[in-house]
Structure 1
Amino acid sequence: MGLIDRVIGGSAAATALGNAAVGVAEVFTANATKQMEASQAAYIAALDEHGTEFQYLRPGRFDRFVNGLNRMPRPMLALGTLSLFIYAMADPVGFADRMVGLAYVPEPLWWLLGAIVSFYFGAREAYYFRNRAAPVSPPLPQDENLALREWRGAGSS
């Protein structure tokens, strides 16, 4: 131990050498601990900011209005499609005129409409896919038979 101290120059020199090696290594590879601490601090700050946004229990009129609007697209699409069938039966000539008008809509506009609708429903599907509950497994058959045998045994005594 004394020989190493003499060669390197004591414990202070060894500490300085170690710190220099760490500094050089951090140039090429980031310090994982510092990255984790920084990401944790950013996460806590984001949670605090998000919490202040939702600190009020009762939403105002505007919030209720926007929540109502967010619930409208699916029912409107379903009811709109059904109303087109009713309109086709009630006024076939008027319906045909409207469909001819739809033929003049340019193809890029149809692609845009398809993208909007697919992203809306795709985002909803992805949300429910990520937040689904784990399926509950049914009891094994032998457990049911054991319980049935115990129940029959208790009832026959």
Structure 2
Amino acid sequence: MGLITEFLSLVFGGQRNALRETVEVFRENAEAGAQRAHDMQAEALRQMAAEFRHGGKSRFDRFMDGVNRLPRPMLALGTVALLISALSDPVWFAARMQGLALVPEPLWWLLGVIVSFYFGARHQMKSQEFQQGLAASMAQVPHVARNIAALERLRADTPAAAGTGTYAAARLDATETEANPALEAWKTRRG
């Protein structure tokens, strides 16, 4: 009896399980594999959350983004202010425009280049961000299509929603008329 007990404790007992350890050489432990996958996904999400906290930008970057948003509203509001000043005090406005007439042409070119580069660079940056967002959305299309197809198969009004046969056979069964003697007798009595 002692020999059987020793053998069973070797295979199943004690702190080790030789049978389980031997099987795990050939087949992965599903519970341990799921735990590893969960840990990996949790770590990836933690890393991504840390990367995108506060938009992934420093305080200085956020400040500069705010400063970069100022020129367009300032240009629009400045133009409206010029129109209002021209209406309210035309002499004052004419004096300021005479001052602008004295600005040399190369300075106007330089101002045009600066404004063009600012708005061009901003347009390009926004365009690239849009394209990245579009690419990310397009990458999800196959997954979404599979999900929609799976949901469509679950509809209650789909023939053979709970059947195990083919969809075509179920559709034929659902649309095929059967002989119904009681219905035929009722139709003949009425007609």
TM-score by length of 2: 0.37
Larger Rg: 2
TM-score by length of 1: 0.44
